[in-house]
Chain A
Amino acid sequence: MNAHIPLQVRAHLAAGVAQAAPWGIALDGLLAAEMWADHKATQRAAGLPTPHLFETRNPVDLPLPLARCPTPHHGLWHWAATCAHPEGRPDLPPEVRTWTGRTDSRALTHLTPALPAVLSDRQGRYRARHMPLLVTPATTIVWQAVGDPDHIRALLGGITAIGKKRSTGEGHVLSWDITPTPDLDPWTAAHLHPDGTLGRPTPDGCLTGRHVRHGGHGTAGLRPPYMHPARQHTLHLPALLDG
């Protein structure tokens, strides 16, 4: 039985979400991260190691509770889900906060017996950081997708924060809403934000014959694990948060 239906996922946030990329967090990435964390926990409980993803030439596609976009494009395929889109806000600029980092020399002594005499925090690899943190100000962000709402709800229920700097309180999720949207056609749910702009990195083939506002053309990940070299392709980029 195919339980995949068009739907919208909403995360109600305490105070926005911090991110470096100029488009929102991918729903399939969130779901894959949860499933991968569960997989690693199971392996660990059984006393088995989990190879690092960057050591894996072709990472396995986890069975996400999402449909696959059926548009063929030279063997490329992606999950039918978009990146997050801030809901009901005018084009607000990102809120610029700051994060800082300084090398803990004492902690380093526990990692190596051969520390250099001087670890400069003014230059080199261990220099102190004073970095901007770009926060998208939103109380609700929304994804569109084609998938199994119950399974998605179960996976997302365990996620309490998303985005960067979660440990310092950024991206706190108050609640999740998964709403079936039977009126939404599957292609739109798989590719577009609610405002009709491109909602995910997309191969050319998906957009043939369609005029959709997007964020340019460049290298991006097509599906999780997004940062893996095997998943990098030249794609249409999602509409940019900053216009």
Chain B
Amino acid sequence: MPSPDPGLDPTRLAALRRPHPATPGLPQRIRDHLDTHDGYLAFSGGKDSMVVLHLALTVEPNVPVVFFDSGLEFPETYQYIRQLHTELGLQLHWIRARHTTLELLAASGAWDHTAPRHPTPDLHDVLITEPAARAHHEHGRGELWGVRAQESRGRAALYANALRAEVARSCTSCCTAHPHPAARRRHGGLIRRVDGTVAFGPIWDWKTPDVWAYLARHHLPVNPVYTKLRRLGAPEHFLRVSHMLDGNRLEDGRITWLRRGWPDLFEDLARVLPRLREFV
């Protein structure tokens, strides 16, 4: 019989962590959301959307899973999504952006001191808004996603405002103007947009350890980019697997990890975007 590895296994330890208190009620909320709004699950290949995917599959195995392809995802992410598609039998829909991230960054001229500047379409519109509109058109106005309030101040404000609006809109008896934990569990995470679409983030108020604990508890496969970034020494807030680069967080060293972990890709990108070298 093989002897176990010596020492403490952090993954097993994480699996023993107490689940987030909202977890038991989430399948029902997801079911209600899909029954009411129909729609799709936005899957990025990250840890948060993996949790939401797992939760959603427990109540609706045929939920449409949509991957918005920026054209500049990590190679491991593409491989990981194809693997999940095969192993879990996902109803996967692959929506490619009208322009890839790299095309837009290069065309802008902002990444090359010698290139002329050109106005380019907004990156958020091309990568998120337009593909999401296509997905809503094909699958309905509902959306499930793994966006969490802890990820940024903007997202925290988005969920806080949406919760207040939802309580005011839907609740006449059970909640007060200052939502208590039960109200958060009943109404939190729901974003009603002006275009009529409705997004629900089941794990909107989870902290990062809650996410890792869930993944460990259910033995879910995790995008290998996380392991690679950890091995490079990247801190927790840089463990992100969205597209490899854009204009965000360059001054915090985002490119340092790309340079170190994907040297061949970095060199190819730096040929097209020479100013990339200023950020390592």
B233 at interface, CB cutoff 8 A: yes
Kindly identify, within residues 229 to 243 of chain A, every residue whose CB is under 8 Å from any CB belonging to chain B: 232, 237, 240, 242-243
Q: Chain A's nearest CB lies how many Å from the CB of B41?
A: 34
In the bound complex, CA of A132 to CA of B271 (Å):
23
The answer to whether the Cβ of A96 comes within 8 Å of any Cβ in the partner chain is yes
Interface size, chain B (Cβ < 8 Å): 21
Inter-chain contact A130/B264, CB cutoff 8 Å: no
Q: Is B221 an interface residue (CB 8 A)?
A: no
A93 on the interface (CB 8 Å rule)?
yes
| Residue among B233, B256, B259, B265 having the largest count of chain A Cβ atoms under 10 Å | B233
- Are B263 and A127 in contact (CB-based, < 8 A)? no
B268 within 8 A of A: yes
Question: Knowing A93-B232, A134-B233 touch, does A215 contact B263 (C-beta < 8 A)?
Answer: yes
Q: Chain B residue with minimal CB distance to A129?
A: B251
Of A58-66, A81-89, A216-224, the one touching chain B: A216-224
Chain A residue nearest to B265 in the complex (CB): A218
Task: Type the 1/0 row for B263-274, where 1 means its CB is closer than 8 Å to any CB of A.
Answer: 111011001000
Is there an interface contact between B251 and A22, defined as CB atoms closer than 8 Å? Answer: no
Report which B residues bind A (CB closer than 8 A).
231-235, 251-253, 256-257, 259-261, 263-265, 267-268, 271, 279-280
Interface residues of A (CB under 8 A from B): 20-23, 93-96, 127-132, 134, 215-220, 232, 237, 240, 242-243
Q: Can you sample 16 A-B contacts with CB below 8 Å?
A: A20-B256, A20-B280, A21-B263, A22-B259, A22-B261, A94-B260, A128-B251, A129-B253, A131-B252, A132-B253, A216-B263, A216-B264, A217-B264, A218-B263, A218-B267, A219-B268
